[in-house]
Amino acid sequence: MNITHRPYQGLKDFIAMTSILAIGRKTDTTAHYVHTGDLSWWMFYSDYTDSHWHTHITIWEHDGRTCGWSLFDPNWHSFDVYVLPEFRCSTLEDHILDWSIDCLTKIVRTQGKTEIQTIWVAEHDNKRIQQLEKRGFRRGEYLMWYLERTLENPIPEPHIPNGFGIRKVAGNDDIKHRAAAAHQAFRSRQPFDQYWPRYQHFVDSPVYSSSIDLVTVAPEGNFASFCIAWSDPVNHIGLFEPVGTHPNFQSLGLGKAVVTEGLRQLQICGMRRAAVCVKDSNHDALGLYQAVGFQKQYQLFTYVKAITNE
């Protein structure tokens, strides 16, 4: 088996990583390959002060071709492994899984934690579930729903209260307003003067486009709700991540309005379907997405393994 691995080296590797996800989504019927927008959000909205973040990504090559990648998130004590569909459940994937589990276990031990986990395991992916259970993993308590809706039919214009507007984020003047809405919507404990530069860092990244970043604007000019809608032109499917509403503007239909506009923008970009992942216990979010036409497709599980401190 002529397989090698090396550290992540930059944008070229990022493109290869997204290509594996797009190909996997297009050709595999059991695994949940996360949307390319998920990877974009993880990598470029990461804490910009952590200069070592990309050292947690490993690129795997087979006969000189990128065939897979693994990623560690020490904050979540989790790992992700994705390979091209042709290598699913092969000795190569087994090798990458074993290597990733071993490396993450060593990292987590230094943090004094007692378990590791992998996320995004589809309920119908019996092959991956068997791989994990064979290695001592069990199903965790963290569950998500994967939802989709079609974009083949006309989408009505969003309804917003009088005095409110809806538009795309427009330049640096909007950065702090957009970050402020997210800071409050997600109840971040981080001081705002440390929080908003993270969003600025994302805006300056190669994956960002203001055309995918939508907000509703209150009469006094504050941003009330927001969403980012990512496109996957290979599979013609869009993804919403993240979506939120400032607490001062909830229960006004503004979350529904900004998502509806996001659906319209995805349709303009040639997407035929839209997707979103929602935590099982987030009933408000599930209600919002179902109200704009999303339907539950399947659940996504977390698999957890206890580790011992040696």
CATH 3.40.630.30 domain range(s) in the chain: 3-145+300-306, 153-271
pLDDT of residue 49: 52
Torsion angle, alpha carbons of 269, 178, 170, 277, to 10 = 0
| Distance (Å, whole) CA 106 – CA 96 | 16
Report which of 150, 148, 204, 145 is spatially closest to residue 175, judged by C-alpha positions. 204
Q: Which CATH architecture has domain 3-145+300-306?
A: 3-Layer(aba) Sandwich (3.40)
pLDDT of residue 15: 97
pLDDT of residue 248: 97
| Distance (Å, whole) CA 110 – CA 112 | 6
Instruction: List Cβ neighbours of 53 (8 Å cut-off, separation of 6 or more).
Output: 43, 46, 47
| Distance (Å, whole) CA 97 – CA 173 | 45
pLDDT tens-digit profile, the chain (310 residues): 689 999 999 999 999 999 999 999 999 889 999 999 999 999 999 764 555 567 799 999 999 899 999 999 888 899 999 999 999 999 999 999 999 999 999 999 988 889 999 999 999 999 999 999 999 999 999 999 999 999 999 999 999 999 999 999 998 889 999 999 999 999 999 999 999 999 999 999 999 999 999 999 999 999 999 999 999 999 999 999 999 999 999 999 999 999 999 999 999 999 999 999 999 999 999 999 999 999 999 999 999 999 987 6
| Distance (Å, whole) CA 193 – CA 68 | 38
| Distance (Å, whole) CA 152 – CA 58 | 38
pLDDT of residue 29: 84
| Distance (Å, whole) CA 166 – CA 75 | 35
| Distance (Å, whole) CA 65 – CA 63 | 6
| Distance (Å, whole) CA 122 – CA 131 | 13
Token pair recorded at residue 38: 């998920």
**How far is the CA of 15 from the CAs of 28, 39, 79, in angstroms?**
20, 10, 20
Q: Is domain 153-271 given the CATH code 3.40.630.30 in the classification?
A: yes
